[in-house]
Amino acid sequence: MYSFNNDYSEGAHPRILQALVESNLQQEIGYGQDSFTNKAVEVLKEKMKSDEVDVHLLVGGTQTNLIAISAFLRPHEAAIAASTGHIFVHETGAIEATGHKVLTVDTENGKLTPDLLQKVLDEHTDEHMVKPRLVYISNSTEIGTIYSKQELELLSAFCQKNNLIFYMDGARLGSALCAKDNDLDLSDFPELLDAFYIGGTKNGALMGEALVIKNDSLKEDFRYHIKQKGAMLAKGRVLGIQFYELFKDNLFFELAEHANKMADRLNIALAEKGYQFLTQSSTNQVFPIFSNEMIAELQKNYQFNIWGKVDNDHFAIRLVTSWATNEEEVEAFIKELK
């Protein structure tokens, strides 16, 4: 049984474990103020070509989203997300639990646009409704699509004009940046966004997300929020060591490239065999549409997510690849396709 269920089925890239082992007995200060975290932050700033950002290493995606959003917003302010957005659907009301509504718009491909945002603003006009204040996007999105540089520029300009905080969930940012059709670079994000995070968990780390805050007005006292939400690791070194290892050279990108290459192999083979897709993804999530019989057959040897019903006889499934995906298993899977 091989799993294409997600990109967190295995542990960490061996180099990361090796780094943990090598540094293990070195004494360090706690709570993210250790020398490894400092080094990780430095290399991240270099990759982003920006000295003006604050970087905080956190443990997981939901945690990062809820801390950032609750720290950034006042009580009456709301986030806007695609109705497929992770914060709206799959975080057990984490944002609402901090007191904030998540407003949503339906999208074609998981991506927000200025027009969609304008509609939300038009509907929220007075104090009987929440005040839309933060725009939440995911890149890559929950359905595998990515934003182009122009799309982000338009959103960024719209946010600036309308006093909206522009925030990006980068749980799968590695895969987005290594997609064939990507034209963005890590250094673009501090230019375009108020805050975003770079996902480690789904790209080779044991756990860890690097939250980047560019907007000065959002930086003050941020460590208080981390602590209050239970996210300040006593052994913060564990995150520092991992992010330093991922970014001291190009490991982070190499791992994402492997994941995308495996997804690409699946995409091409599936298309050649005539299968349809739910969404056009150039990242590490592939959404082919299969007949019920086909799914039952594949489930004998493979784990994957049943994504959604297409018609009575067909479902879309989700195949996820990662830094650890075995190329031979991908080929074996393809052979099983009729």
Phi, psi (5° rounding) for residue 234? -55, -50
What is the rounded distance in angstroms from the CA atom of residue 113 to the CA atom of residue 106? 11
Binding residue (CB under 8 A) for a second copy from 160, 181, 185, 224: 224
**Closer by beta carbon to a second copy, 234 or else 312:** 234
**Closer by beta carbon to a second copy, 223 or else 273:** 223
Determine, following the binding rule CB under 8 A, whether residue 296 of this chain makes contact with a second copy: no
* Least distance from a second copy to the Cβ atom of residue 135, Å: 17
Determine, following the binding rule CB under 8 A, whether residue 78 of this chain makes contact with a second copy: yes
Beta-sheet strands, E only, within the chain: 2-3, 54-58, 77-82, 102-105, 131-138, 165-169, 195-199, 209-213, 285-286, 289-291, 302-303, 305-311, 314-320
Determine, following the binding rule CB under 8 A, whether residue 76 of this chain makes contact with a second copy: yes
Q: Tell me, by CB under 8 A, how many residues bind a second copy.
A: 76
Q: List the interface residues with a second copy, window 317-336 (CB under 8 A).
A: 324
**Closer by beta carbon to a second copy, 131 or else 248:** 131
Q: List the interface residues with a second copy, window 162-201 (CB under 8 A).
A: 201
Span near a second copy by CB under 8 A; candidates 96-104, 110-118, 190-198, 255-263: 96-104
Terminal-residue alpha carbon distance, the chain:
19
* Least distance from a second copy to the Cβ atom of residue 295, Å: 18
Determine, following the binding rule CB under 8 A, whether residue 29 of this chain makes contact with a second copy: yes
Q: In Å, what is the CA distance from 102 to each residue of 90, 98, 146?
A: 12, 11, 22
* Least distance from a second copy to the Cβ atom of residue 197, Å: 12
Element (H, E) at 143: none
**Closer by beta carbon to a second copy, 36 or else 147:** 36
What is the rounded distance in angstroms from the CA atom of residue 208 to the CA atom of residue 200? 5
**Closer by beta carbon to a second copy, 61 or else 190:** 61
User: Which among 38, 88, 59 is positioned nearest to 197, based on CA atoms?
Assistant: 59
Q: List the interface residues with a second copy, window 118-157 (CB under 8 A).
A: 127-131
Binding residue (CB under 8 A) for a second copy from 116, 179, 226, 263: 226
Q: What is the CA radius of gyration of the chain?
A: 20
Report the DSSP beta bridge partners of residue 199. Answer: 209
Determine, following the binding rule CB under 8 A, whether residue 203 of this chain makes contact with a second copy: no
What is the rounded distance in angstroms from the CA atom of residue 329 to the CA atom of residue 323? 13
Task: Give burial (CB, 10 Å; 0-12/13-18/19+) of 272.
Answer: exposed
Determine, following the binding rule CB under 8 A, whether residue 24 of this chain makes contact with a second copy: yes
